[in-house]
Amino acid sequence: MKANVSAIRETRADRMFRLVVYALLAVLLIAYVYPLYFVVIASISDPNAVYNGEVLFLPAQMTLEGYEEIFHYGELWIGYLNSIFYTVAGVFINISVTMMAAYALSRKEMMLRGVILKLFMFTMFFGGGLIPTYLLVKSLGLLDSRWVLLLNGAVSVYNLIITRTFLVSTLPEELHEAATMDGCRETRYLISVVLPLSGAIIGVNALYYGAGHWNSYFSAMIYLTNRSKFPLQLILREILNATTSSNVFEAAGSEAEKARQMRVAEVIKYCSIIVSSIPLLVAYPFVQKSFVKGVMIGSIKG
């Protein structure tokens, strides 16, 4: 006998509530999307139109003058290659160390794992500061070395905690017991079992660490002096400073040339954002599925 289920009728209050929610979501969408859209259209618009506030919804007098100024800078491509190296090598080191540490802290038989985890968490709230860190890097002989950008901050405690939670909540203990009975050692179990089953959290870590390496410029500015090792962000910062400094405007000569330099500098700001963001925008779709899955599992369970 089928149960008769009466249809739930939507009341006027329900419809009004839904309309208010949709309206708020539309406002939030515009607030988040429009600035990104404006950066794109401003980067391909005439500098005079951008400077005068004529660019609102559509590009005005499309031009690539801002991109020409940036790509004319010879060291830009060196910075691109350096950033790619720092990102790829850094992510590999970050994920390797994070997975090993998280796996060790996820094992119940590890002695003092609670104390060690608390010591890791202590570093999230307290640090030595810039000067002691600089002195430590100097004493280790890492100044003006590529290794300083790869090893300094090799583990994010936040990512470590998420990864540990993922391993504890996702991998059953019976799996480890079965592997142990078959003669599988811890290293073999980590490489052959844990890593293949941790694709989601590895994707999360790759995105977090990759974005951090790609957008980082402060560490390079502090520890590097050799320009051939500068990452892209530091090169773009120099371009932006060079086009907006008062010395450039004074050397421009006539007032008309100074005004043109100021307008071009305004567009270069937006072009720099686009140039530095494209690689991350291209890479994100490939890790989006793993990112969403890993964050949900690592944050809700455990």
- pLDDT tens for 7-19 read 567 787 888 888 9
- pLDDT > 70? residue 112: yes
Query: Could you tell me which residues come within 8 angstroms of residue 298 by beta carbon, excluding any fewer than 6 positions away?
Result: 162, 163, 165, 166, 169, 201, 204
- pLDDT > 80? residue 6: no
CB-CB contact of 251 with 36 (8 Å): no
From 98-102, 110-114, 125-129, 267-271, the region with the lowest mean pLDDT: 267-271
pLDDT mean across residues, the chain: 79
Cα 59 to the center of its chain, rounded Å? 28
What's the pLDDT band for 297 if we cut at 50, 70, 90? Answer: low
Query: Could you tell me which residues come within 8 angstroms of residue 200 by beta carbon, excluding any fewer than 6 positions away?
Result: 166, 290, 293, 294, 297
Across 200-222, average pLDDT: 86
What's the pLDDT band for 1 if we cut at 50, 70, 90? Answer: very low
What's residue 70's pLDDT?
A: 74
Q: pLDDT tens across 44-92, in order?
A: 777 777 767 777 777 777 777 777 777 777 777 888 889 889 999 999 9
Of residues 271 and 213, which shows the higher confidence score?
213
What's residue 156's pLDDT?
A: 87
- pLDDT > 90? residue 22: yes
- Produce one character per residue of 61-87: b if its CB has 16 or more CB atoms within 10 Å, e if not: eebebbbebbeebebbebbbebbebbb
Sign of CA dihedral 152, 126, 132, 223: positive
What's residue 89's pLDDT?
A: 92
Q: pLDDT tens across 174-185, in order?
A: 888 888 887 888
Of residues 226 and 256, which shows the higher confidence score?
226
| HEC assignment per residue over the chain | CCCCCCCCCCCHHHHHHHHHHHHHHHHHHHHHHHHHHHHHHHHCCCHHHHHCCCCCCCCCCCCCHHHHHHHCCCHHHHHHHHHHHHHHHHHHHHHHHHHHHHHHHHCCCCCCHHHHHHHHHHHHHCCCCHHHHHHHHHHCCCCCCCHHHHHCCCCCHHHHHHHHHHHHHHCCHHHHHHHHHCCCCHHHHHHHHHCHHHHHHHHHHHHHHHHHHHHCCHHHHHHCCCHHHCCHHHHHHHHHHHHHCHHHHHHCCCHHHHHHHHHHHHHHHHHHHHHHHHHHHHHHHHHHHHHHHHHHHHHHCC
Alpha carbon distance 165, 184 (integer Å): 23
What's residue 86's pLDDT?
A: 92
What's residue 26's pLDDT?
A: 92
Alpha carbon distance 223, 139 (integer Å): 13
What's residue 254's pLDDT?
A: 60
CB-CB contact of 200 with 284 (8 Å): no
Q: pLDDT tens across 235-264, in order?
A: 877 777 766 555 544 555 566 666 666 666
CB-CB contact of 192 with 180 (8 Å): no
Q: Find the distance separating the first CA and the last CA of the chain, reported in whole Å.
A: 42
Q: Is 32 exposed, middle or buried (0-12, 13-18, 19+ CB in 10 A)?
A: exposed
pTM of the entire predicted model = 0.75
